[in-house]
Amino acid sequence: MSAQSSAPRLPVGAGGSHQAARASRKDEHLDLALRLHGQDRPNAFDDVAFMHHALAATAATQVDPSATVCGAQWAEPFYINAMTGGTRNTMRINSELAGAAAEAGVAVACGSQHIALDDPERAESFRIIRRRAPRAFILANVGPTMDPAQAVRAVEMLEANALQIHLNAAQELVMPEGDRDLRDWAQRIDAIVKAVPVPVVVKEVGFGISARTMASLSRLGASAVDVAGTGGTDFIAIENERRPDHSYSYLTGWGQSTVLCLLESLCAEPAARRPGGDSARGTERPVGQTDEHGAQLEVLASGGVRHPLDVVRALALGARAVGVSGHFLRTLSRSGPEGLRHELALWSEQVRTLMTLLGAADIAALRRTDLLVTGRTAEQARLLGVD
């Protein structure tokens, strides 16, 4: 699969030329994500190693990798994260992602729905996800600039189980036609959280969420954050490529890695809630922040997840579940829908195998495994005081 710029477009409604530009941006993002990030690269997950204990004490048949996210039980602790929708080409991709998700029993998110909120004729490219995955946990997706009524419509469009709000400041600022006024995002998130009938997951798009931002989001009533850190898809590189002057090349790599975000969120957890105190060794590592009502902000991880070992590393660092965009997009592009279905089944099997190797019967046990964090990530963690 590739984003064919010659692909026929869905009918264009009111505000045609603006919508057409938005639609072609959707196809360009896919095309550039595949072209610039053609393969998995080394990243901060490589700084995380498990201590191997030769007397592992569990059986593969005993392993339960299910995850509890936003009050729902997920059979698999990984999911297909937000990517696309709005054009005929992206409708096919959403259909194929959703079909594979339904078969594998994994949750799936759609890309930003702004294009369909402005032009209802484009909604079918998102609705296809619910049609192909009638029983899946589906996450709708908007940015913080949507008003509460639009966010409610986004959820209804997909009969979604949760709503993602994407924070993409770096992308907007490098995007030639992006927003330049980012002032009132927090108030808008607050209003959306109060209006929608489902849990809200606030996510980055590949630059990471700091503990300070997490604390704000907790106060705003978000149910979960997806730290979506560096190491995989880089929207500064993608938007820079769309600029005629390519003048932001130096900014590539901006942000925090997914691993560093998880380490920081571990230490943001009040010590009293950490069994065994501060040590991240041999004790369960709960992650997240507690709002004023005592509710725990759930932490999901995405950004640069390449294989089942990265999934297990992120879970051991406290993520409730692990999102994947770039790797699954490349799998679909290279191997088609059948290849993606095979990949999801392989990940499902291998997450269980790795948990068996680690002697972890469930995700809570994974958090008690012994981790070694080295290299640049260890140095950054030390500077943040979270080592």
The contact set with ligand FNR (CB under 6 A) reads 29-30, 33, 81-84, 111-112, 141, 164, 166, 203, 205-206, 228, 232-233, 302-305, 324-327, 329
Return the number of the residue (43 or 380) whose C-beta is nearest ligand FNR: 43
Taking Cα atoms as reference points, which of 176, 287, 192, 288 lies closest to residue 241? 176
Query: In which region does residue 228 sit, left (phi positive, over 0), alpha (psi from -120 to 50) or beta (all else)?
Result: left
Please give the structure tokens belonging to residue 358.
């680690």
Return the number of the residue (267 or 311) whose C-beta is nearest ligand FNR: 311
CA geometry: angle at 203 spanning 320 and 27, to 5°?
A: 120
- Across 284-300, b (16+ Cβ under 10 Å) vs e yields ebbbbbebeeeebbbbb
With tokens 């130096």, the residue in question is: 250
Cβ at position 164, least distance to ligand FNR in Å: 6
Cβ at position 328, least distance to ligand FNR in Å: 8
Cβ at position 325, least distance to ligand FNR in Å: 3
With tokens 């509890």, the residue in question is: 68
Cβ at position 209, least distance to ligand FNR in Å: 11
Return the number of the residue (27 or 269) whose C-beta is nearest ligand FNR: 27
Cβ at position 204, least distance to ligand FNR in Å: 6
Return the number of the residue (153 or 203) whose C-beta is nearest ligand FNR: 203
Cβ at position 260, least distance to ligand FNR in Å: 15
Return the number of the residue (90 or 369) whose C-beta is nearest ligand FNR: 90
Distance CA 65, CA 77 (A): 6
Taking Cα atoms as reference points, which of 297, 189, 207 lies closest to residue 261? 207
- Residue nearest ligand FNR (C-beta atom): 232
CA geometry: angle at 43 spanning 381 and 359, to 5°?
A: 75
Amino acid at 232: G
Return the number of the residue (119 or 269) whose C-beta is nearest ligand FNR: 119
> Is residue 111 a contact partner of residue 134, using CB atoms and an 8 Å limit?
no
Distance CA 342, CA 303 (A): 22
